[in-house]
Structure 1
Amino acid sequence: MSVSVRIPTILRSYTGDESQVTAEGDTLAQVLDSLESSHPGIKARVVDESGALRRFVNVYVAEEDVRFAQGLDTATPDNTQISIIPAVAGG
């Protein structure tokens, strides 16, 4: 399945400054693997060493937070938009 992935400014150095890229995969995990093959280094900024989503990175599949869905196993239907959004802290 081909999906569109919105890339935050902080990760655009991995995508040649592109704000949106295309990736393949039936699940978020497969999409991240596809991103990694096209844009080496980006996956490590989204998932940690154990393969789990990083604590301060939010990922949405069609506007649904994957933490409240199936995480990396969340389905990514064809033409779905995925957004990677770094969490903002402050006070």
Structure 2
Amino acid sequence: MVRVKLWGSLRNLVDGQAVIEVEASNFKELLDALETQYPALKPQIERGVSFAVDGVIYREAWFTPINEENEIVLLPYMVGG
């Protein structure tokens, strides 16, 4: 199980939880598990999310490996300029 910290407005979609746990070994598996376990996250995931692993932010890096040792943060895509 990996622990995922949720950033900002994502917490509102999981009853205010700051950290959730799911079974996943890469970013794609993480997103699939989140959509299954927390259906309210699905629309945001479809709009786009980024994730940080140990402080490095990734976007659309589907097969980036993750494990329970990593610090994982899920963020909505940032837009603007």
Q: TM class, shorter-chain normalised?
A: 0.7 to 0.9
RMSD, aligned α-carbons: 2.1
Specify the alignment match of 1:63 in structure 2. Answer: 55
Q: Check conservation: 2:52, 2:72, Cα contact below 8 A.
A: yes
Runs (4 or more) in structure 1 with deviation over 4 Å come to none
Max Rg structure: 1
Task: Report if aligned partners of 1:59, 1:84 keep a CA contact under 8 Å in 2.
Answer: yes
Gaps of 5+ in 1: 49-53
> Matched residues in 2 for 1:12 and 1:18: separation?
6
Note the 1:20-31 alignment, pairs <5 A: 20-31=19-30
What is the deviation of 1:80?
A: 2.0
Question: Number of matched residues?
Answer: 80
Q: What SS is found at the alignment partner of 1:72?
A: coil
Question: Equivalent residue for 2:74?
Answer: 84
1:12 corresponding residue in structure 2: 11
* 1:12 Cα deviation after fit: 1.5
Task: Calculate the TM-score normalised by the size of structure 1.
Answer: 0.70
Post-superposition Cα deviations, 1:39-66, rounded to whole Å, max 9, x if no partner, equal: 1031331344xxxxx2xx4311222222
The answer to whether the Cα contact below 8 Å between 1:33 and 1:43 also exists between their aligned partners in 2 is no
**Aligned-pair identity (%):** 24
